Amino acid sequence: MQRWLKGLLTLGLLTTPLWACAQASPAEEAVTRVDIDSGALRGRHALNVTAFKGIPYAAPPVADNRWRAPQPVQPWQGVRDATHFGADCMQRPDPGDAAPLGVTPSEDCLYLNVWAPSDAIPEPEAERAPTDRPVLVWIHGGGYVNGGTSAPVYDGSAFARDDVILVSLNYRLGRFGFFAHPALSREQQGKTLANYAIMDQLAALNWIQRNIGAFGGDADNVTLMGESAGGASVLDLTGSPAARGLFQRAVVMSGGGRALMGPMPALDRDTPEHPSAETIGENFAYRHGIEGKGQAALAALRDLPPEQIVDGLNMSTLMSSHAGPRTWAGGPIRDGELISGEPEGIYQTGLQHNVPMLIGTTDADLGFSAAESMDALFAPFGEEADRARALYDPEGSDDVQRVGREIGMDRMMTEPARFIADHVAASGQPAWRYRFSHVAREVRHDWSGAIHASELPYLFRTLQSRYDTLDDSDRAMAWQLHRYVVNFARHGNPNGGGAPTWPLHTPLSNLMMDFTQAQGPVARQDPWQTRLDLVERHLTPALER
């Protein structure tokens, strides 16, 4: 640990950390203009970064545009102010969110933000700067029901200072983003249905293709990056024909890799085990007194206030049981066009876009178990139940909750990430796998490991937005993780710039980068390999159809 920190001090990386300079004084700020396909924008320049916030990439998805594909932006006259975030998408904010919102949610929310190096934006009347900066596109998490780009932890300034353009985007959440109903299918015959959030993400990626050059970005060097539901979205986009050519590499953080939110419902086909998305939509309509499958039912659904569409749904209520018929699709829907199935099936059959990938999880990531006893917990391992008990509870603690969380984490997050890395490598593309195990000083005595989403302030170098007390190991870890992603966005390889070498993942070597508490980044074989092999053999469910 001391040697690792000393090396960074020698390089001058901990003496005046950029996290301490996140806010500029008014005297250091200036405004900058760019012209895009829908009009002119006025952004704000400070500390060698120019930020443009609240840029509409589609028309407001309200009134008749509720549950429609993103519609074109109406061009504006004059110069539009782009110095403040637009609204995040409609939701019931979760008080426990690791990235709390900075603005009030609204149904009118299809906005994105751009952080660019200031020298990438030419002065008015000046010669246009070269459009060769790599572009990193951030898709936030939140279980498809929470989250937004205004969260301070997602500030893209540190990436812009490293000559990478960071774009963050909002996309419709909850029933605004994933919804089907027979009346909608009738109205929009022949059109893509149900996955409006994925359509939003695609619309933002197409906006980048048309406009990022105005900010100095290279539309042919785009890296897609997301965490949790954002990471799952990245995987869905790597499997969607509509996304082909819109990005060249991917970063998936705690995004699962098999079926993160459970089996996807089909658009219009019920099975004995799972209702279709249309049936789920009808259940929701009935809850609000709306019956029928015609235009009157659809008009009544579109007339519902946004709060009634949310209907109390957020990350907290998502995990609780509900009486009565199911009214929430749970996320992406198998529409047969944009989304044909879970990532597991897409990658097993080789239908994904073959791009380099950086993928991993935290060491205390999300995991759930309903088992009420140790015997029930290990029963699914069958003849290897004793082997599983020895691996997960070697001290014989009989702590059902703790061990259940670990098994749930391996099944939901850790093994699926390895599964995806295996298939990326098998396709001939490079894959780098990681585990983030560092815990911030402020919570080091409270957490047993790095919890879900705790790596994000390190990635963005926005530690001050999350913690009041830091130490040099926190700042050093932020530099390391951030540097690897900058390298990957630039060159398609995380290595370079003095960071420890991150080896490629292959199914045989099983090498990964462990971002440890005591030693910083350490490349090694996965110490959890045996238990992940066990999970793969026994607890990975077959795809349900």
Please give the structure tokens belonging to residue 3: 């040697």
Contact indicator for 257, 235 with CB cutoff of 8 Å: yes
Spatial separation of the C-alpha atoms in residues 12 and 31, rounded to whole Å: 31
Confidence of residue 261 (pLDDT cuts 50, 70, 90): confident
For the chain, give every domain's residue range.
2-265+333-538
How large is the average pLDDT for residues 201-228? 97
The percent of residues in the chain predicted with pLDDT above 90, rounded, is 86
pLDDT tens sequence across 424-470: 999 999 999 999 999 999 999 999 999 999 999 999 999 999 999 99
Mean pLDDT, the chain, as a whole number? 92
How large is the average pLDDT for residues 361-380? 95
Q: Which residue has the higher pLDDT, 400 or 32?
A: 400
How large is the average pLDDT for residues 197-221? 97
How large is the average pLDDT for residues 271-283? 95
Cβ burial of 451 (10 Å; 0-12, 13-18, 19+) is middle
**Residue 512, strand partner residues:** 524
Q: Quick check: helix, strand or coil at residue 44?
A: strand
Superfamily name with CATH number, domain 2-265+333-538 = Alpha/Beta hydrolase fold, catalytic domain (3.40.50.1820)
**Residue 52, strand partner residues:** 114
What's the confidence (pLDDT) of residue 262?
83
pLDDT tens sequence across 460-472: 999 999 999 999 9
What's the confidence (pLDDT) of residue 22?
38
What's the confidence (pLDDT) of residue 12?
40
How large is the average pLDDT for residues 472-498? 96
How large is the average pLDDT for residues 274-291? 97
- Classify the C-alpha dihedral 453-153-237-249 as positive or negative: negative
Contact indicator for 55, 107 with CB cutoff of 8 Å: no
What's the confidence (pLDDT) of residue 9?
40
Local structure of residue 179 (DSSP, 8 states): -
Distance of CA 229 to the CA centre of its chain: 5
What's the confidence (pLDDT) of residue 16?
34
**Least confident stretch, 12-21, 142-151, 208-217:** 12-21
Which amino acid, residue 400? Answer: V
The percent of residues in the chain predicted with pLDDT above 70, rounded, is 92
How large is the average pLDDT for residues 36-59? 97
Q: Is 70 exceeded by the pLDDT of residue 15?
A: no
Say which residues have a Cβ less than 8 Å from residue 305's Cβ, sequence separation at least 6.
Answer: none
pLDDT tens sequence across 304-329: 999 999 999 999 998 776 778 999 99
From 92, 89, 141, select the one nearest 452 (Cα to Cα). Answer: 141
Q: Is 70 exceeded by the pLDDT of residue 111?
A: yes
SS3 content of the chain, % helix, strand, coil (to 5): 35, 15, 45
Confidence of residue 1 (pLDDT cuts 50, 70, 90): low
pLDDT tens sequence across 121-174: 866 555 655 679 999 999 999 999 999 999 999 999 999 999 999 999 999 999
What's the confidence (pLDDT) of residue 497?
85
Cβ burial of 435 (10 Å; 0-12, 13-18, 19+) is buried
What's the confidence (pLDDT) of residue 321?
63
